[in-house]
Structures are given as structure tokens and as C-alpha cells.
Structure 1
Amino acid sequence: MSAFSFSERSLRLMDGVHPDLVKVVRRAMENTPSDFVVLEGVRSPERQQQLFQNGASRTLNSRHLTGHAIDLAPWIDQQIPWQDWPAFAALAQTMKLAARELGIPITWGGDWKNLKDGPHFELPRESYP
């Protein structure tokens, strides 16, 4: 059992996220060796448009719009270590293990070939249209 738990903010940000993805995130928190936070769950079309215009997203058809994606970040020494790719990769390993244990497929944005998105996890379109 993990020594970590979700903040009220992280719990609120999981509202509307697909229940299977929430199960994976919760299972990851139970087994994580280091704390993490939820950055973003469901996005409004307006928020997605803003991210697209600012270059922070490459699509207007994000899985965040339907609750099939969530952004997570390691929480180390009371901050997000944005420049510490290994910390994001370690969180991804924890998420992938949780997904395997639950039999729920996930995709990590850090595995994408063109745009590496360390915080991003989603349910694949093939399994969750």
C-alpha cells in the first residue's frame, strides 16, 4: 500500500474521466513508489482550442474532450519536476503496471514517436471509441 493519496484537487480533476481510466489511476496511486498529481482530466472545447492555438496541443480532437485522457505529473519535493524526464517515465511504468493488473489498455504520450507528452495517458481509440 502506498504512503500517498490524492489531494482534493486531483480528485476533482478526475470528475468526468472514463471510469476505467480512473480505476487505473487509483490503482497506480495504491502502488506508486513516489507521489503524483492529476493535472487535467476532461477539457472543454474552448480549453482545447486555446491549447491548440498556443501550440500546447496538436489536435482539436483530443481524448480529453470525451474523458478518455488524463494528464498526470510526478510530485517531488512539493513541485512538478518538469525537466526530469526519468520521473515522468517512472510514473508511466507505475501506470502501465496498474493497467496490466486491471486488464485495461492505456497509451502513454511519452511513447509517441512525434510528440513526446510525458503527462498524458489515454484509453486507446481501438478499445474505447
Structure 2
Amino acid sequence: MTLTLEYVMSKSAKRLEGLLPVVRTATERLIQRSFAAGIPIVITQGLRTITEQNELYAQGRTKPGQVVTNAKGGYSFHNFGVAVDFALLLPDGRSVSWDTSRDGNADRKADWMQVVEIGKALGFEWGGDWKSFKDMPHFEMTFGLSTAQYRAGKRPSQAQIQTAMKRIGEDDEQMDKAKTIVNDKRIADSLLVDGTVYVPLRSVGDALGAAVSWDNKTKTATLTIKSN
């Protein structure tokens, strides 16, 4: 199937809920920038409750499975909406991959590391840089606060958030955008990737007075223009 930016964004929508707004914005930009580089990704983890964290911590300890985290509930940045995990979204639009050597866009560079580069440019710290217990899918934006400070109720200052938003905005300005006009009406900005303009289908449909529907079972988008 042909993956659209709108579809790729929709795959991660639920996992973005509950994130600190500035972290959510950075994560959305991560998805968009990766897509522009020919690398669709999906967010597999976002906000995690304390209960969910404790259940994950029990895996490989008091429950079957491999150890996947060293953090108990309240000791993970996921518990405070400032961390996300990602995976590569495969061409079928359903399967995901954690293959860090995969070169799906055929540019002779590992897709995974290209996503990491984009994430760091946005201000994320990458779990793959940790000296122990490397967490390759993990990004976090902690604003210099510890989990102990988050547990105590401390949150990023407005100045820190503004600085982060400025960095995200500067990155946004570097994206290749295209203006799209439909019936003399400008719709939402599109992305220009390798000479091809990718437009948001729903915005086009609205401009044409058409109905847009999505069949998740067959992964089919349909645009129907009403006759006069």
C-alpha cells in the first residue's frame, strides 16, 4: 500500500495522548520529519501509568518474559508524559520493525539512525546513548528534571518550554513545505518530498465538498465527489 502522512500520523495518535504538550509537538514533528526522509515510523509507547510500569517491571522478574526495564512505577519518564518509544512502520502499513540496520528508503543509511538524528535535532535524548541498559527505541525530553522531581510534582518552567518550542519551530522551518490551492482555496500545508507533493486528503476533500472515508480493514481511502 502507499503510505500517506495522514495515515502514518493516525497510527500513533492514541500513543500521543497524555504527553506533555511540548513533547507531543516534538513527537509529531519527529513523525513528520522521518516521513519526509522516506522513513515512516510509529510511536509504540507514550504515557504509561504507574500500574502499567509496575507490570512491565515485573516481566522477567516475577512474571514470564525478558527483562525490558529497570524502572519501577514512578521511576520512568514515561510515567510523566515526557518519553516515547518508536518503531519502523513497514510498507504494509501494519507491521513494525525494530531492525536498527534496515535501509527501507534505500539511501545506504540505516533508517533507525536517521530517525535518531532527527530526534536529537528536535531536542530529544536517545536511550541508545546510555552507557548501561541501552534502550534503542527510546526518546525522552526531561528538561533536566529527575524522576524524583517529577514525583514530587515539579514540572518544566515556562522558559524551558519556550526554549524547547523555539528549537522545534526552528526545525520546522527547515522542512520542505508546499502550499496547495484547491478551487482557489488554500488548504493545509503539504510536504514536498523528492519533487512529489504529499497533500492531506481530508483537507482536499473538504475543499472539494467531497466525502472522505477510510476502511481500516482493507487500508483504503476513498474520496467521493458529489454530483451536481
> TM-score, normalized by length of structure 1?
0.81
Which of 88, 91, 107 aligns to 2:125? It is 107
Listed one character per residue, the Cα deviations across residues 3-28 of structure 1 (whole Å, up to 9, x for unaligned) are 53444341111011111111111222
Corresponding residue of 2:19:
17
Q: Pick from 118, 121, 129: which aligns with 1:94? A: 118
Q: Give the CA RMSD over aligned residues.
A: 2.0
The separation in 1 between residues aligned to 2:69 and 2:41, in whole angstroms, is 22
2:32 partner SS:
helix
Unaligned runs of 5+ in 1: 100-104
Give the helix-richer structure, 1 or 2. 1
- Displacement of 1:115 in angstroms is 1.4
- Corresponding residue number in structure 1 for 2:70: 58
Which residue does the alignment assign to 2:31?
29
Report which of the two has the higher share of strand: 2
C-alpha separation in 2, matches of 1:82 and 1:57: 17
Displacement of 1:89? 2.0
Bigger CA drift: 78-87 or 9-18?
A: 78-87
**Structure with bigger RCO (C-alpha 8 Å, 6+ apart):** 1
Kindly tell me the number of residue pairs found equivalent between the two proteins: 121
Structure 1: distance between partners of 2:88 and 2:11: 15
Select 1:118's aligned residue among 114, 117, 136: 136
Consecutive unaligned residues of structure 2, counting only runs of 5 or more, are: 60-66, 102-109, 146-154, 157-228
Shift of 1:80: 2.1
Change (3 A) 1:83 1:31: closer
Moved more, 116-125 or 31-40: 116-125
Larger radius of gyration: 2
State the shift of 1:56 in Å. 1.1
Q: Does 1:77 align with 2:100?
A: no
The letter of the residue matching 2:70 is: R
* SS of the residue 1:16 aligns to: coil
